[in-house]
Structure 1
Amino acid sequence: MPKILLTGYIQFPQNTSDEDLACIRAELAIHSQLTLNEVGCIRFKVAQNIIDPLRFDVEETFIDKAAFQSHQQRVKHSNWCKVSQSASRYYSTSEI
């Protein structure tokens, strides 16, 4: 069964304040740990871009489509979803 790879980035709006950005980073740390603890998560990396601090580069790998879908369902009801709702998401997924 193929693994699922998601790559891309999320971009927060230009009017995101330093205070909001601090909140985003704090919630991202929690979101990352919760995701890494999910059954089927192989890799989860979200890093603030060095050149554009409002951009976060994303790379996720899950053991299969079911694990990836389970992750997506959890995220819909998470604090991370609320904190990052203003961000635009640019992702691609593939089977590897």
Structure 2
Amino acid sequence: MEHRIVGPGPYRATKLWNETVELFRARMPLRKHRCRFKSYEHCFTAAEAVDWLHELLRCSQNFGPEVTRKQTVQLLKKFLKNHVIEDIKGKWGQEDFEDNGHLY
């Protein structure tokens, strides 16, 4: 799956959102993590998500290198709020997304 350039026009923000969600779901590396003596398959830490998505956005022609890490965290907060991601306990939006080791 390649980055698609979203041109100007109506619904540009929606197209960018859908493109970013699609890329995140398809490419975000998932692996096994341990938390409190329990193993969780197919998950990622918040910091891993921020690192990966920040690099994706900076390399994208739709966003560019001026994207900050703080903006990436804000986008991931919106992912959590809009049920794109959930924490390992199955909660959506119950907690605020932070750039840390929390599992999703």
Q: Structure 1 length as normaliser, TM-score? A: 0.32
Q: Structure 2 length as normaliser, TM-score? A: 0.30
Larger Rg: 2
- Structure with the larger strand share: 1
Structure with greater contact order relative to length (CA < 8 Å, sep ≥ 6): 1
